[in-house]
Structure 1
Amino acid sequence: MSAEVKTEPAPAAVAEATAPTSGHTAPDAVPTAEPATVATGDTPAEPAPATAAEPTKALTSTPAATAAPTWELTPDTPIAALFARLPAILSAAEHPHIWGVTLSAAEPAAFSTLLVLQKYLRSVANDVDQAAAALEKTLRWRKEFGLDAGADPREYGADFDGLGYVTTVGVGAGTREVVTWNVYGAVKSLSATFGDLDRFLHWRVALMERAVARLDLAHTSTPIPDYGQGDDPHRLAQVHVYDGVSFLRMDPHVKAASKATIELMAAHYPETLSRKFFVGVPLLMSWVFSAVRLFISAETAKKFVVVSYMANLAPELGDKADVPVVFGGEAGSLAELEAREGAEKATATA
């Protein structure tokens, strides 16, 4: 570990860790000692009525698998109202692709299209106007940012080696959860990693895209419950590892990267977070995260888990066979886990 990492922190990780993943506007990034870095989270407290014009007939989706039940929509539901706006949204954005799904306004409604619309609705408590605006904004951004072309975070060079991984972990009853790992203690040089903001953001977004791709939204046949009626089954966990990171100073490059990352994740990845772990946080700093809970919704607070000792992560995260030994599991390194899952996936699809 270089001396630079220990004396000049990468607190962007902390600011990003407290960022919302809903469609709400994110605040400016500040050190985590200031609870203002935390917004309201994924699920607002009260639902808002749909205000959009509604279709005149019920819609029935075509599920991804023929054996799966259809997702039937009635004219008075927010998702039907948002689907009615989709032609205008797609025309304005001139980009139909998001998270591996090609949005379609054709009837009957495509199952994968409804999944995306439902995520946007849940992020704003069923406010159709807000959901429509947020989705159009995201589609425009994806086109301008150059996404949906298969970018890989591992293509960004040695400055990002060891900083990000995507794995899955067993969480019981044959269910697996996608996990994004952000290893901020592996930063070798703050200026090299965070100095070029555009380059950093493309790496960070590509890592997120690789994780969301593992959700396979284009092919699942499991619907998302209406807002307030249960959990979204298509979300991922995040682990932020701070071992070797100092919490005492804020580099200006890191601050800029933190602010920009918060804004992008809040605006363009609604309803994607299930749980977030803060690992290797010094005991002296644990009070900060406890204080933060006083300023956020109970729903958001439930997603935050502080683990000061790295070896204590596995019991919180899932099956030990899917967690590296350094985090209390039984597997090899994160790189080995990622490679193992890649090989298993290749074998399964061969």
Structure 2
Amino acid sequence: MSSTASWPALSEEHPLLKLHARLPTILESAQHSRIWCVQLASSSPPPFDTLLILQKYLRSNANDLDKAEEALTKTLKWRREFGLDQEGEKAKEGVDGEEFKGLGVITEVGDAVEGSKVVTWNLYGVVKDKEATFGDVDRFLRWRVNLMERAIALLDLPSATTPIPDHGAGPDPYQMIQIHDYNNVSFLRMDPTIKKASGAVIELFSHNYPELLSRKFFVSVPFIMSWVFQAISLLLSKETTRKFVVLSYKTNLAKELGGNLEDIPVEYGGKGQPLIA
């Protein structure tokens, strides 16, 4: 059920209202109207959750209306073509398999100030067969998208009541944390199979999941391998890379995450249950 909250009054010239006025054209072009558990609606007054989505696209494009419209249209078309937002088993095709077991985990960390934080974990050290896990890029992408969509569902955007500030006016409260753990992963040579799959994820996510990342941690990374992440940073915007944190020791992660230590696995400096038993 959508939130009954009201957005603060906006002037007719506000970019958010202008983008909402373009929504009928966007939905007609995309032939798809659902994203991140939200049913986009062009009705007046604009639904709160619809404004949340539009605001994310405006913020990610520095309030450029044309770019925001183009980006949202492309995302909705991609979601339709990728088969997202479907009901039943078809929506889960290709996301289950032994090759992905233990690779992705979703948790939440309670925080008295910021509220609950959604955290997605990618544990690359559990991969036994690189070719089986990463070799079929399309299958890996489908698995990775499914993990992201499940994490977004925990943000519960349809029930949100706090508006997202305008571009440059404050942080977006509806974002998550991503953690990539490279424990037991060799950095002596970048495996081409993993490189190809990782590149595909970076490209797809940069276009279709804007303004959803608050911070991204790379843990268990040797000091001498920081250049790898500098290279990755060249593929992304400065706005994105400023959220990156590289940690050589995973036990330092708890201090960076903050919040309730009981929600943070003991191997990462918290007091919670191990992430993988």
Cα deviation for residue 196 of structure 1 reads 1.1
Higher relative contact order (CA 8 A, sep 6+): 1
Counterpart pick for 1:252 among 192, 204, 207: 192
Counterpart pick for 1:330 among 245, 257, 271: 271
Secondary structure of the structure 2 residue equivalent to 1:247? coil
The residue that corresponds to 1:277 in the other structure is 217
Alpha-carbon displacement from aligned partner over 1:67-116 (angstroms, at most 9, x marks no partner): x4443222111111110100011011111010000000111100000000
Larger radius of gyration: 1
Counterpart pick for 1:165 among 105, 110, 128: 105
The residue that corresponds to 1:286 in the other structure is 226
In terms of mean alpha carbon deviation, does 304-313 or 224-233 score higher?
304-313
Alpha carbons of structure 1 residues 171 and 198: separation in structure 2 relative to 1, 3 Å:
same
CA RMSD of aligned residues (A): 2.3
Contact 1:164 1:182 in 2 (8 A): yes
Cα deviation for residue 291 of structure 1 reads 8.5
Counterpart pick for 1:99 among 36, 47, 50: 36
Code of the residue aligned with 2:33 in structure 1: it is P
Cα deviation for residue 302 of structure 1 reads 3.9
Please tell me whether residue 134 in structure 1 is matched to residue 71 in structure 2. Answer: yes
The residue that corresponds to 1:211 in the other structure is 151
Q: Percent identity?
A: 56
Alignment of 1:113-262 (within 5 A): 113-149=50-86, 151=91, 155-173=95-113, 175-262=115-202
Code of the residue aligned with 1:311 in structure 2: it is T
Cα separation, 2, equivalents of 1:294 and 1:124: 19
In terms of mean alpha carbon deviation, does 115-124 or 142-151 score higher?
142-151
Contact 1:99 1:217 in 2 (8 A): yes
Give every structure 1 segment of 4 or more consecutive aligned residues whose post-TM-superposition deviation is greater than 3 Å: 68-71, 150-155, 286-302
Cα separation, 2, equivalents of 1:264 and 1:293: 15
Code of the residue aligned with 1:331 in structure 2: it is G
Cα deviation for residue 283 of structure 1 reads 2.1
The residue that corresponds to 1:345 in the other structure is none
Gaps of 5+ in 2: none
Cα separation, 2, equivalents of 1:172 and 1:298: 30
The normalised TM-score by structure 2 is 0.91
Code of the residue aligned with 1:226 in structure 2: it is D
Code of the residue aligned with 1:94 in structure 2: it is Q
Code of the residue aligned with 1:255 in structure 2: it is K
Gaps of 5+ in 1: 1-62, 337-350
Name the count of aligned residue pairs.
272
Code of the residue aligned with 1:238 in structure 2: it is Q
Alpha carbons of structure 1 residues 259 and 333: separation in structure 2 relative to 1, 3 Å:
same
Cα deviation for residue 240 of structure 1 reads 0.6
Alpha carbons of structure 1 residues 252 and 132: separation in structure 2 relative to 1, 3 Å:
same
The residue that corresponds to 2:3 in the other structure is 64
Counterpart pick for 1:82 among 19, 23, 28: 19
